[in-house]
Chain A
Amino acid sequence: MTKPVVIVGASMGGLRAAEALRRFGYLGPITAIGDEPYAPYNRPPLSKDVLKGEVSHEAVAFPQRPATADVNWVLGTRVASADVANSTVTDDTGLVHPFSALIVATGLRPKRLQVPNGGLAGRHAVRTLDDAIALRAELVPGANVVILGAGFIGCEVAATATLLGCSVTVVAPGSHPINRPLGRTLAAEIKRRHEAEGVKFRMKSTVVDLIGEDRVSGVILDSGEVLPCDVFLEAIGSHANTEWLEGNALDLTDGVLTDGALRAVTTGGGSVENVFVVGDVARFANPIFDDVPRRVEHWNIPTDSAKRVGQVLAAQLAGENTATLLSEPFAPIPSFWSDQYDIHLLAFGLLGLADEIKLLHGEIKGDCVFGYYRESKMVGVAGIGMRSTVQGYRSEFKLEG
């Protein structure tokens, strides 16, 4: 019997990888194993629009295409380990799944705060649909919501919770929300707009402990200040889900290191021919910017990486010579957006690399476009409104020569 391509992770990256395999002509068996009980769904709305209304799988499910109707989805099942040398993975029920090729699409999980009195109800993170359903149920008018972390997810939930009538305080160690990667000027304006909506900030602060018996009722800051708290959201970044790959001599330093074909790279520096990585768990160098491998948690990365993997792997499984394909660069243009109140931010590139940020168009109090430069070369562009203008800069991000 033909061994299947096994995809571990049944979210956007896993779905797009299955679709790409079919699109590039692979007709053999595909098994996709995911630890959530749901078919693949769209995560970004979970901290934005979807959180305002009734959160349901139906509202965010990706449409399934005829080409992938025969994919064997094994849902609600966590893969516990992989044996790359023997081409198998083992799930948490002990079942062994042999593979012809493995696609790693296990993504990230939220970092959680470690505090002495941490075992309380009312603590939340937002990554999965179930996380969003649980958080939505507690965002009732008048609730005191404390959000630890002022990145995109923290700020988006702050906006949504405020619109739902909650009293929101954001606590974060930095000087401004989303200061990195947006830069001080834009970050200060976003903070101003949040404050105009009633959000309170405790910047340069952190939470040292929680107060409550069974359920959180307050948080203690490092200044000693106590904030009343009915709902505590932790939005302090993510860990890559790679523990199940340990013991295979893969380079698992912050995600899975890959080559330009998104094949996993060993600690010795060689590529593993039948282990591929897609989505935000992949750490790859993007030749548009430089040769430094990075994980990129932006919207287009699962889709772009899955296309690259699907093309290479389909050719490889068909027994074709892949030398030319493998030598092609993987150079996706990172793209992301954020919605907070009437702020609609659209960005391209890797803004965090910039050593200089310039206002290019408009004015900071209204619609505006900022350019992000490293050694005078544009590495990012971001705008509030002015979509066409922002898009016009996308062509700046291309390979040299």
Chain B
Amino acid sequence: MTIKIDVDMAKCQHYGQCVFEAPNIFRLNNDDKLEYTAVADDSERANVEAAVDVCPMQAIRIVE
């Protein structure tokens, strides 16, 4: 099983709060912009859900 992750980059302000919750999925690049892995193993679900919760812009969702 995999999960699909979508970040609304029009909303994202690159605060990087998600990076601490799901470090395997989200990271800030050298320009401090968010990069993420769009498909992940289901074992990452809890971490990604935590990232969804803490996103200040509420820009992250798990596509079911």
What is the CB-to-nearest-CB distance from A369 to chain B, in angstroms, rounded to a whole number?
12
State the Cβ distance, B34 to closest chain A Cβ, in Å: 9
> CA separation between A314 and B25, bound complex, in Å?
29
B15 touches A387 (CB 8 A): yes
Give A261 Cβ to nearest chain B Cβ, in Å. Answer: 20
Q: Is the CB of A44 within 8 A of B13?
A: no
Q: How far is the CA of A385 from the CA of B13 in the complex (A)?
A: 11
Residues of B within 8 A of A60 (CB): 58
A391/B56 contact (C-beta < 8 A), A339-B13, A344-B13, A386-B32 known: no
Q: How far is the CB of A169 from chain B (nearest CB, A)?
A: 28
Q: Which residues of A have CB within 8 Å of B15? A: 337, 344, 346, 387
Query: Is there an interface contact between A16 and B17, defined as CB atoms closer than 8 Å?
Result: no
Residue A322 interfacial (CB < 8 Å): no
The answer to whether residues A391 and B16 also contact, given A385-B32, A386-B32 and a CB cut-off of 8 A, is yes
Q: How many residues of B contact A (CB 8 A)?
A: 17
A42–B60 Cα gap in the complex (Å)? Answer: 14
Q: How large is the interface on A (under 10, 10 to 19, 20 to 34, 35 or more residues)?
A: 20 to 34
Interface 1/0s, chain A 128-152, versus B by CB < 8 A?
0000000000000000000000000
Asked if A303 contacts B53 (CB within 8 A), the reply is: yes
B residues in contact with A339, CB < 8 Å: 13
A45 CA to B54 CA, complexed, in Å: 14
> B19: CB under 8 A from chain A?
yes
Contact B54–A300 (Cβ < 8 Å): yes
**Contact: B13 with A391, CB < 8 Å?**
no
A49 CA / B58 CA spacing, docked (Å):
12
**In contact, B28 and A387 (Cβ under 8 angstroms):** yes
Q: Is A299 interfacial (CB-CB < 8 Å)?
A: yes
> Other than the known A60-B58, A300-B17, A337-B13, what 18 A-B pairs have Cβ atoms closer than 8 Å?
A16-B53, A42-B58, A44-B56, A49-B57, A63-B52, A63-B61, A299-B54, A300-B54, A303-B54, A335-B17, A337-B56, A344-B15, A385-B32, A387-B28, A387-B32, A388-B28, A391-B19, A391-B20
28 contacts between A and B (CB under 8 A): A16-B53, A45-B57, A49-B57, A63-B52, A299-B54, A299-B56, A300-B17, A300-B54, A303-B53, A303-B54, A335-B17, A337-B13, A337-B15, A337-B56, A344-B14, A344-B15, A346-B15, A385-B32, A387-B14, A387-B15, A387-B16, A388-B16, A388-B28, A388-B30, A391-B16, A391-B19, A391-B20, A394-B20
